[in-house]
């Protein structure tokens, strides 16, 4: 029998469903039988429905979630986060390395079978559950370890990624000088082997008559150990690098001050939440495009630019037969789309419930991949000029990662007229590209943490304190990366903590949980409720079959072809360094199985009962309002109006 309505004096609200008019609502499991109301929902809620369903959670008063001031704030934040350094310094090199224009075939294929489906899944999941990276998995509480795993990954990523910004900020400051400090060999950090200009074409007769170091004529054989001033500036001045991981050395105080300045900047970008973040990204996400266009215009007018661009796009069809090309394409997608970090989920959670996130996913994917391809023309036009100046092949100057940003490109701008201007412009762009990715990553981490504390823990400055603690903790860890052995620590974090393996593992389980535990058709229905129409079935097929296979295939390839970490192909990390690296990787990957086993064995009942209970969604208060289209808002419901209706939830407001 139905529970009798409480007297009006008790201020009760009975949420009901018209089963004849809205059968789809019951099929999606919004009755108490198929899930429970989140503890952060409506106060004083207990009981079961007439079908003998699970208990409805209890908890403190519901605090309404922030939303973006305008939907464009969300778009710009996603662009700022996903479009980062990887688009500029990694994609162009991979395109050149893997057959030029031919690389776009596996790249675009994996975009549609892996990148866009998971990108859309994470945004839609955050928008649907209105929660950060941990509580979003209330959709299947047994697998909440996915949320903890993404928090660990994004924390590590926030910790080491900012070092690139600190280096970029350091180079930006050094650019404001009449002569770039990395363009000459007469500085205190230079060695006797430093050589400013060395044209390889002059070595055809095994001698270089005009090249002198320290006043002595040198042959090409003698010059084998000669070093460029930019490499010496990077290794001897910026890094002041030691001989190995076991030699941390002293702290570089200049670099530490740069690191502190960047963290302070990140803090004041994030501390007030999405209302302030959504405004800042309008500048940090768009200005790099202005700089890229300026650099492209300058680049294509330089001698040798044409040869560089041809190296970038010239197709080599034989590359399609190599497995590594497909693996590189898949890994790049997961890196550049920022999948598996939980930050996209956090950004989506601030959307309006009825936002068309399906359309947004395709627009953002187009911007992301388009930026990557466009950046290649900028980078390789400059590298073509650099190769022409040095008289070498473009392949000898092509770099990726920090090698491109802090060695190849600074060398190129040092050869241009008005070099300090172009250097300052490039490093300012580098700083902005990384800055929005950094503070959105911090936003995603803080959102996940704050979602764990319900309304009764409300504090006026709760967000500000949480952001400050996060930034301070990361800064303390970062101090190990501004020492003389800091580069070795940075590479450990980069290679293991947020590597391709951890992101692929995370993405695989995301697809499995949504498609097979919660139900792909069920989630497609939920998306249809939000956006007003069902997405193309391709998404469901990808979540269920194609994307998990792609993720696991690339993951196993990485595992089988694992190689020990090295620095500059010369220094091999000690065994205990690799152990530390694997601990960083496993700290996130093990969150999923450990959390699953802990929850499962702590539960009571038979195996079937435990599974049924632990995979029943925990609904948030917003679902009760938004998911019943023929019922007005909570405030407009009449208590006790139960004519020809089935009671779903009873709550005392």
Binding-site residues for Na(+), in ranges, read: 80, 82-83, 87, 336, 368, 433, 436-437
For residue 534, name the pLDDT band (cuts at 50, 70, 90). Answer: very high
Lowest mean pLDDT: which of 123-132, 217-226, 609-618?
Answer: 217-226
Judged against a pLDDT cut of 70, whether residue 561 lies above it is answered with yes
Burial class (CB in 10 A: 0-12, 13-18, 19+), 501: buried
Quick one: average pLDDT of 36-63? Answer: 41
Lowest mean pLDDT: which of 58-67, 263-272, 310-319?
Answer: 58-67
* CB-based contacts of 277, cutoff 8 Å, min separation 6: 73, 77, 269, 270, 439, 440, 443
Cα 58 to Cα 45: distance, rounded to the nearest angstrom: 5
* Residues facing residue 208 across a β-bridge: 218
Cα 545 to Cα 541: distance, rounded to the nearest angstrom: 6
Q: What is the DSSP string of 495-534?
A: IIITSHHHHHHHHHHHHHIIIIIIIHHHHHHHHHHHHSSP
Judged against a pLDDT cut of 60, whether residue 206 lies above it is answered with no
Element (H, E) at 269: helix 253-270
Quick one: average pLDDT of 138-142? Answer: 93
Euclidean distance between the first and the last CA atom of the chain, given in angstroms as a whole number: 23
Binding-site residues, in ranges, read: 80, 82-83, 87, 336, 368, 433, 436-437
Contact call for residues 175 and 414 (beta carbons, < 8 A): no
Q: At what angle do helices 287-300 and 419-451 cross, to 10 degrees?
A: 150
Contact call for residues 600 and 614 (beta carbons, < 8 A): yes
Tracing tokens 């499991």 back to the chain, one arrives at 29
pLDDT of residue 222: 59
Burial class (CB in 10 A: 0-12, 13-18, 19+), 562: exposed
Quick one: average pLDDT of 125-149? Answer: 92
DSSP state, 537? Answer: T
Lowest mean pLDDT: which of 61-70, 344-353, 486-495?
Answer: 61-70
Contact call for residues 167 and 410 (beta carbons, < 8 A): no
Element (H, E) at 210: strand 207-213
pLDDT of residue 314: 83
State the sign of the Cα–Cα–Cα–Cα dihedral 520, 526, 528, 531: negative
Mean pLDDT of the chain: 80
Report all structural domains of the chain as residue ranges with CATH numbers, in order of start.
71-197+217-601 (1.20.1740)
Tracing tokens 């989506």 back to the chain, one arrives at 348
Better-scored residue on pLDDT, 557 or 386: 557
Q: What is the DSSP string of 303-372?
A: TTHHHHHHHHH---GGGGG-HHHHHHHHHHHHHHTTTTSSHHHHHHHTS-TT--HHHHHHHHHHHHHHHH
pLDDT of residue 200: 52
Judged against a pLDDT cut of 50, whether residue 4 lies above it is answered with no
For residue 456, name the pLDDT band (cuts at 50, 70, 90). Answer: low
Return the SS3 of 112: helix
Burial readout 14-23 (b: 16 or more C-beta within 10 A, e: otherwise):
bbbbeeeebe
Cα 29 to Cα 48: distance, rounded to the nearest angstrom: 14
pLDDT of residue 219: 62
Neighbours of 321 (CB within 10 A): 7
């Amino acid at each position: 029998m139905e529970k009798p309505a409480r007297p009006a004096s008790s201020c009760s609200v009975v949420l009901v469903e018209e089963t004849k008019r809205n059968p789809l609502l019951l099929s999606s499991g919004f009755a108490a039988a198929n899930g429970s109301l989140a503890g952060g929902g409506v106060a004083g809620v207990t009981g079961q429905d007439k079908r003998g369903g699970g208990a409805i959670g209890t908890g403190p008063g519901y605090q309404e979630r922030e939303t973006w001031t305008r939907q464009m704030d969300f778009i710009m934040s996603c662009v700022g986060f996903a479009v980062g350094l990887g688009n500029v310094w990694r994609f162009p090199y991979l395109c050149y390395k893997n057959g030029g224009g031919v690389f776009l075939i596996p790249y675009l294929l994996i975009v549609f079978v892996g990148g866009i489906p998971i990108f859309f899944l994470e945004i839609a999941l955050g928008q649907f559950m209105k929660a950060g990276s941990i509580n979003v998995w209330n959709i299947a509480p047994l697998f909440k370890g996915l949320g903890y795993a993404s928090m660990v990954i994004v924390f590590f990523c926030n910790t080491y990624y900012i070092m690139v910004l600190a280096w970029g900020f350091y180079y930006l400051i050094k650019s404001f000088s009449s002569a770039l400090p990395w363009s000459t060999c007469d500085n205190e950090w230079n060695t006797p082997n430093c050589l400013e200009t060395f044209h390889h074409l002059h070595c055809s007769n095994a001698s270089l008559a005009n090249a002198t170091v320290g006043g002595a004529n040198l042959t090409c054989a003698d010059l084998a150990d000669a070093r460029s001033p930019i490499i010496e500036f990077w290794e001897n001045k910026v890094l002041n690098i030691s001989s190995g991981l076991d030699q941390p050395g002293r702290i570089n105080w200049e670099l530490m001050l740069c690191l502190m300045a960047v963290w302070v900047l990140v803090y004041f970008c994030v501390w007030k939440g999405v209302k302030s973040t959504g405004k800042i990204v309008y500048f940090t996400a768009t200005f790099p495009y202005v700089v890229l266009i300026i650099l492209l215009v300058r680049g294509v007018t330089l001698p040798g630019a044409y040869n560089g661009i041809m190296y970038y796009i010239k197709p080599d069809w034989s590359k399609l037969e190599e497995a590594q090309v497909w693996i590189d394409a898949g890994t790049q997608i997961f890196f550049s789309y920022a999948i598996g970090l939980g930050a996209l989920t956090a950004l989506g959670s601030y959307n309006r419930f009825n936002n068309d996130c399906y359309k947004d996913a395709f627009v953002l994917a187009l911007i992301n991949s388009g930026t990557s391809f466009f950046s290649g023309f900028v980078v390789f036009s400059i590298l073509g000029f650099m190769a022409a100046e040095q008289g070498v092949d473009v392949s000898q100057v092509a770099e990726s990662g920090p090698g491109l940003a802090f060695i190849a490109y600074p060398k190129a701008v040092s050869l241009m007229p008005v070099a300090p201007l172009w250097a300052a412009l490039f490093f300012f762009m580098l700083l902005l590209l990384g800055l929005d990715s950094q503070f959105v990553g911090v936003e995603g981490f803080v959102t996940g943490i704050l979602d764990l504390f319900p309304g009764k823990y409300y504090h006026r400055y709760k967000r500000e304190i949480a952001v400050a603690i996060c930034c301070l903790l990361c800064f303390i860890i970062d101090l190990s990366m501004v020492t003389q052995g800091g580069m070795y620590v940075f590479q450990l974090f980069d290679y293991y903590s947020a590597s391709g393996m951890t992101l692929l593992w995370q993405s695989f389980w995301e697809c499995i949980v949504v498609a097979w535990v919660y139900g792909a058709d069920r989630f497609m229905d939920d998306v249809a409720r939000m956006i007003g129409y069902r997405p193309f079935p391709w998404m469901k097929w990808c979540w269920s079959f194609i994307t998990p296979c792609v993720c696991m295939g690339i993951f196993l390839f990485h595992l089988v072809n694992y190689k020990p970490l090295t620095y500059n192909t010369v220094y091999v990390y000690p065994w205990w360094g690799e152990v530390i690296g694997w601990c960083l990787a496993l700290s996130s990957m093990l969150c999923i199985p450990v959390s699953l086993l802990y929850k499962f064995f702590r539960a009571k009942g038979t195996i079937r009962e435990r599974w049924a209970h632990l995979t029943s969604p925990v609904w948030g208060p917003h679902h009760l309002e938004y998911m019943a289209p023929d019922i007005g808002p909570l405030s407009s419901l009449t208590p006790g109006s139960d004519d020809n209706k089935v009671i779903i939830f009873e709550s005392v407001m």
